[in-house]
Structure 1
Amino acid sequence: MSNLAYDTDIEGSDDARDVAAMQTLRPIPRISIQAFCETEGVAGPIERAGSDRRMAKAHLKVHMGGIPTAIEFYQSAPTPNLILLESRAEPKELMAQLGQLAEHCDPSSKVVVVGHYNDVGLYRELIRSGISEYVIAPISMADIVSVISSIFVDPEAEPIGRAIAFVGAKGGVGSSTIAHNVAWAMSSLFKSEVMVADLDLAFGTANINFDQDPAQGIAEAVFSPERIDEVYLDRLLAQCAEHLSLLAAPSTLDRVCDFDADAFAHIIDTAQRSAPLLVLDVPHVWSGWSKNTLARADDVVITATPELANLRNTKNLVDMLKKLRPNDPPPKLVLNQAGVPKRPEISPQDFAEPLGITPMAVIPFEPLLFGNAANNGRMLGEMDAKSPIVAIVNEVAHVLTGRSELKTRKKAALGGILEKLKRGKK
């Protein structure tokens, strides 16, 4: 059992390479796509691609039948932004079929052909005739998303920030505290711009934890979605540190917080264009918008305490997120408040076993440090930079940003935590 570990349960699986390849791909914009396939071997990966979170905005429909079916279909239907065509036809027949299809296609529609002939001459002729790309079967889900991205995502556009969603397996497990401290660690350790968005409009604690009282925040954005752009969002941010800004929740009960499933989607998209790292503090609720937020984040961190109800809830969350995010690594787990004196607890090993994931961190129960930080509106690193818990938080920041420095410090951190756990159980 290690204190910090990368998720490894997908390694060695048939889909591991697909999952790894998908991590570098950017979200596809809101476009319409129709595919016409001749084989299940091509239709399957395209359908899988359509369920991926990076394709959440795109509308994809798969038809069986290849180019002849497409010709018949578009005689009476408008063409979409992108047409995916599979063809097993020989090069001459393929070019003739595409010529017939062109008579019914809107000039603005892009066309990608998935063929079964590895022919450089054919590829050049297809490109000259206006085909956007020619891909040789067999194809993977990552191939499909990559091709679509190469056509519709501007390579010169600003990079999209990484969204990391933190959620508690149960109320009171410290998910918000962990989220805020990890965000602060990212900004201070790596000098990278980090934005924290507190999505708990009624009871959010980010403003208290960062000792902020902004006049505006996320409420203005979510209740006026038509106004959201980078300039407006920047006006709503409170500066917490040199590289850390906060989209604070009002933490009042003036309005009922019943939102549509996509209520935060535009805010998150805009925030990702404004900062390289976006930390989403998601409250412990299960609604359409919280489900969508977790499903579309680049990484999900579940915070839990080592108790049975937490284990059940974590298992439910892990299972659901694996269904919602089939092409992403499983969520990461932080075990918090471990080693409470005289409290019966589930060991980290026993907690992790039914989940199939290793805890990213085990944080011991330290009420004095956490309490002083909370009451003073300060981060743990500001209260005691040399605390072993601060070292763990820093290591979590390394994991979530992919820094390799983590590996050299893993063993020492593990020993200190296990010693604390042993003392707490006496």
Structure 2
Amino acid sequence: MIKFSAQTQAEAPTADAPAEHIAPLPRVSIQAFCESADTAAAMEATVADRRMSKAHVKVQMGGVVAAGDAYRNSPTPNVIVIESEGNGDQLLAGLDSLSSVCDPGTRVIVLGKINDILFYRELVRRQISDYLLTPIEPIDFIRSLSNLFGSPDAKPVGRMIAVAGAKGGVGASTVAHNISWALARSLSIDTVVADLDLPFGTAGLDYNQDPPQGVADAVFAPERVDTAFIDRLLSKCTDHLSLLAAPATLERVYDFDPEAFDAIMDVLRSTIPCTVLDVPHVWSGWTRRMLVGADDILLVAAPDLANLRNVKNMIDLLRAQRPNDNRPHYCLNQVGVPKRPEIKAADFAKALEFEPACIIPFDPQLFGTAANNGQMVAEVSAGHKINGMFNQLAQALSGRGEVKRQRQSGLAPILNKLMRRSA
């Protein structure tokens, strides 16, 4: 039986609003039968969204008549999408004909222009899974599909937060680990830190843990990856915080295919409310995939020109790859090193056209003590203002708070010259 789930269309997230958590789709087949070119284009646009990476989507023209003809002698996919620009009686008759050839369990989504409660009730009576008014936005369609394969009464679990440095040595891992601590201790969210820097990861040191197993055991044995296996690899740090540690050894070379971590991420997303990915500063297929696939992204940068260039390049790429998501956050770290020339935060924001989520001052005593003792900033000095900054970042990245940003225009001439892309 097809389960009906009412869907209210909403606008795509703005740059300054917290991103809506829409769960990625499982490996399902979707076939759409459109009647207008605009709707077909919107369907095609959904394929590029990160949440649709596992779904197989086919878009064709013809509406409900073409759908009925297509499935008379062939099995139906997991989801059929029907667009109708005609009157309600024609569509209902076509749906009745289509129901005679649909396999059990096939979901049907209808797209149309009729905004009438009686027509809507007729669709409900026919057990249509969802009805969306046209014209539609890709994010509305993705939300509808996501709701079909999740419990309509439960908030989706599995928020993925990726933290990466714009340059090596900017303290991205330290920021990631302290944010994870804040998520677990201050917000009481069950959180896993996944240290993806397999040869040089520092999460084990920072949390004073030395687990015998970790992420390498999973990535090199994908056939064993399931919930129970991942649970055995986790090292418990606090009541709400666990660690999936990196081996931090050099006996082997860690070269991976882009999909190497997919099985691990699927298990974490399905079982853990929040996972923080400590992404190393390398640019490869799998690190790019981790960033593009995350629900929220934080880029950590030091206040110099190379970091500014790298942050801009990364934000530009990620916004292009994630058209239906909020732009990544960025924060400035190690600000105020004595006698070091720095780009001011205001100039950084002017070049990127939005404010940093946080500006973390240089404090070698605080961070050095924490690192050498295997502690977090909150353990060294709970009342320190920097600890408050990590709590603020945790709230924003978890969707429980909003990072206020002010859009500015224009680039300083020298920055414009250095970062201008060749035609």
TM-score, normalised on structure 2?
0.86
Contact 1:28 1:153 in 2 (8 A): no
Aligned CA distance change for structure 1 residues 87 and 18 (closer, same or farther; 3 Å): farther
Query: Aligned pair 1:132/2:134, yes or no?
Result: no
Query: Aligned pair 1:229/2:189, yes or no?
Result: no
What is the CA-CA distance between 1:284 and the residue it aligns to?
0.7
Query: Aligned pair 1:240/2:237, yes or no?
Result: yes
CA distance in 1 between partners of 2:40 and 2:276 (Å): 36
Corresponding residue number in structure 1 for 2:82: 85
Aligned CA distance change for structure 1 residues 239 and 318 (closer, same or farther; 3 Å): same
CA distance in 2 between partners of 1:373 and 1:215 (Å): 23
Corresponding residue number in structure 2 for 1:205: 202
What's the secondary structure of 2:297's corresponding residue?
Answer: strand
From 322, 325, 330, the equivalent of 1:328 is 325
From 82, 93, 97, the equivalent of 2:94 is 97
CA distance in 2 between partners of 1:315 and 1:30 (Å): 33
From 23, 26, 32, the equivalent of 1:26 is 23
Contact 1:35 1:61 in 2 (8 A): yes
From 111, 114, 117, the equivalent of 2:114 is 117
Corresponding residue number in structure 1 for 2:103: 106
CA distance in 2 between partners of 1:340 and 1:186 (Å): 28
**Deviations along 1:34-86, whole A, 9 cap, x unmatched?**
11111133223323333222222211122133233334444565421111111
Corresponding residue number in structure 1 for 2:294: 297
CA distance in 1 between partners of 2:299 and 2:52 (Å): 24
What's the secondary structure of 1:335's corresponding residue?
Answer: strand
Q: Which letter does structure 2 place at the counterpart of 1:347?
A: K
CA distance in 2 between partners of 1:22 and 1:176 (Å): 23
CA distance in 1 between partners of 2:402 and 2:120 (Å): 45
Aligned CA distance change for structure 1 residues 198 and 112 (closer, same or farther; 3 Å): same
Please say which of residues 143-152 and 301-310 is displaced more in the overlay: 143-152
Q: Which letter does structure 1 place at the counterpart of 2:342?
A: E
What is the CA-CA distance between 1:300 and the residue it aligns to?
0.3
Corresponding residue number in structure 1 for 2:378: 381
Query: Aligned pair 1:349/2:346, yes or no?
Result: yes
What is the CA-CA distance between 1:94 and the residue it aligns to?
2.2
Corresponding residue number in structure 2 for 1:172: 169
Please say which of residues 227-236 and 331-340 is displaced more in the overlay: 227-236
What's the secondary structure of 1:46's corresponding residue?
Answer: helix
State the identity as a percent.
Answer: 50
Corresponding residue number in structure 2 for 1:147: 144
Corresponding residue number in structure 2 for 1:46: 43
Corresponding residue number in structure 1 for 2:398: 401
From 304, 309, 314, the equivalent of 2:311 is 314
What runs of 5+ residues in structure 2 fail to find an aligned partner? 1-10, 406-423
Q: Point out the structure with the larger helix share.
A: 1
What is the CA-CA distance between 1:128 and the residue it aligns to?
3.5
CA distance in 2 between partners of 1:22 and 1:300 (Å): 11
Corresponding residue number in structure 1 for 2:58: 61
Matches within 5 A, 1:209-220: 209-220=206-217
What's the secondary structure of 1:334's corresponding residue?
Answer: strand
What is the CA-CA distance between 1:102 and the residue it aligns to?
4.3
Q: How many residues align?
A: 395
Contact 1:237 1:247 in 2 (8 A): yes
**Deviations along 1:278-333, whole A, 9 cap, x unmatched?**
11100011111111111111110000001111111111100011011111111111
Aligned CA distance change for structure 1 residues 21 and 89 (closer, same or farther; 3 Å): farther
Contact 2:17 2:402 in 1 (8 A): no
CA distance in 2 between partners of 1:145 and 1:406 (Å): 25
What's the secondary structure of 1:354's corresponding residue?
Answer: helix
Corresponding residue number in structure 2 for 1:338: 335
From 264, 267, 270, the equivalent of 2:267 is 270
Q: Which letter does structure 1 place at the counterpart of 2:345?
A: P
Corresponding residue number in structure 2 for 1:3: none
